[in-house]
Each structure stands twice: as structure tokens, then as C-alpha cells.
Structure 1
């Protein structure tokens, strides 16, 4: 053959006229895309699970805050607390008396309680033992169980009214 005539298969071997990917390059590209898709999928799943956990915890905290906003019930003080379900969340309220000193009213002032009446009795109730009320400092623990099984706990100190010993039960 003369040097001026080009052979069709010679130009392909030299890389001059061929365009496209080889099978190995295409498989490598598919493998890279598959790995990236797996990483993205795991990230999306983890973020959705995290969001669900946060929403569950926030709902349990809302239940705990609503229970904390309720006044302390006299029956709960006597029983040491209560349990129940609110908005689908189980809760337990525990009350325990604290030995914190309460301030005493000043004696000898207008409207102060006479010495025979407890420190928290309103004026004029000394003659009516049924209306006497004592205040007690209480430690209040509220535990709310989330749907995932974790526990949200709120601890505080509250004042609760308890009937005096000589007052009949209401």
C-alpha cells in the first residue's frame, strides 16, 4: 500500500476518529452513581427518623408543661401523686413533702392570724376548723413517656394546700 492511502481501521486504533465510552468506563460511572445514591438515601432516612424523634419529644414536653400548669390537687398530695394518659402519652406525677420553712405572719398587726391559728389561715377562720388550710412545700416530679420509650422529666418545687389535721375531709 502506498503511504497516501489511509486504512479505515488504522485511524480507530490510533484514537483519532473514535468517540464514546468503553464498557469499563460506563460500569465505573454506574458504580459511582449507585454509591452516591445510597449515601443520599441513608442521609434522608436518618434525617426523617431524627425529625420524628424530635417531634415526639416536643409533644411529650408539651404534655409535661400542661401538667405543670395545673394546680396541685389536694387528693394528689395525700396520695403522693397520680398517673394517667394525656394526648396519648403516659405520665406520672409524684409529690413529696419538703421540709422548707415557710415565713410566719407578723404578730400584732391588723389582720394577722392569732397564735392559735396556723400560719396560713386567713383572718376570721379561727372559729371554723373546716375552713382551715395549711400550705406545704412539695417536690413535684413529672415524668412523661414518649412513644419511642424515652422519658421526659420535669422537677420543680410547688406549694400545695393540705387540710389541717382538725379539718374534716372534703
Structure 2
């Protein structure tokens, strides 16, 4: 009985000899080219990664400074004792300062005089890194 094979013949790698005498793997030249490409890629991406790391470290300080600044501006004040003052301090490594100064006076006929005070708050979390905010408060003389 005769049989006829149809389809694509399957070639076994173990039985196929392409002139390498059975040795498999990378040559030294291929490994050096791959290593060179890896070093070039790392040297191109390295400065960007260190800059991203600095930005993230700066962002944490900025967020903490913004939270403290918001609490300083929104803190309740004794409106009867507002005057030209300056307060400063340090909280969790953040240096802060709050300055108040008289801005203008408002005279109403039915009430006593009211003074407006400009309140400026600033928070520093690193050398040269400062965030500021200001608001107006009313106070009695």
C-alpha cells in the first residue's frame, strides 16, 4: 500500500544543520551590540528620570506648603486686635510668616468705624521655594 503525504513537511531543528555545528546562543559581537544599545538608552533616559524624581520631591513640599498656607489664611483672627503685626514660625520643616497692615478705613453712618487690614501669608519649604497668599480682613480700631 502506498501513502501520499499532503501538506507542509515538518522540519525538526535537532536534525537540521545550518553550518553552526550544533552550537546555539549569541555571539560575542551580538552581546556587545545589545549592551551598547542598552547603555545608550539608559544614558538618554537617565537625566529625565532624575529630573522627574526632583519634581516629585518638590511636589510633596509644595502640597504641604499649600495646606499650611490655606490654614494660615483661613485661621480665625481676633478682629478687635488687628494691627500692623508680623508673626513667623516653623511647622514640620516649613517656615511661615503672616504680616498684617492697615489697608483703608470704611465709615458707615449706622455703625462705628471699620478698618480693613491686608493679611499676607507666605510659606517656604526649601531655599528659594516660597508660596504666598493674601486676603482682606475687617477689624475695629
When the two chains are superposed, the root-mean-square deviation of aligned CA atoms in Å is: 2.6
Residues 2-43 of structure 1, C-alpha deviation per residue, up to 9 Å, x if partnerless? xxxxxxxxxxxxxx5136554333212111012223344444
Structure 2 alignment gaps of length 5 or more: 1-17
Matched with 1:126 is none
> Larger Rg: 1 or 2?
1
Task: Verify: 1:50 aligned to 2:55, yes or no.
Answer: yes
Q: May I ask how many residue pairs the two structures share in their alignment?
A: 121
More strand by share: 2
1:94 shift after superposition: 1.2
Task: Verify: 1:141 aligned to 2:120, yes or no.
Answer: yes
CA contact (8 A) 2:97 2:122 kept: yes
1:141 shift after superposition: 0.8
Structure 1 alignment gaps of length 5 or more: 1-15, 106-118, 121-133, 163-170
Task: Verify: 1:38 aligned to 2:43, yes or no.
Answer: yes
1:154 shift after superposition: 0.3
* 1:31-110 pair list within 5 angstroms: 31-73=36-78, 77-99=82-104, 101-105=106-110
Residues 82-120 of structure 1, C-alpha deviation per residue, up to 9 Å, x if partnerless? 112233311111111112535432xxxxxxxxxxxxx23
In structure 2, do the counterparts of structure 1 residues 74 and 159 end up closer, same or farther at CA, with 3 Å as the change threshold?
Answer: closer
TM-score normalised by structure 2 residue count: 0.69
CA contact (8 A) 2:80 2:140 kept: no
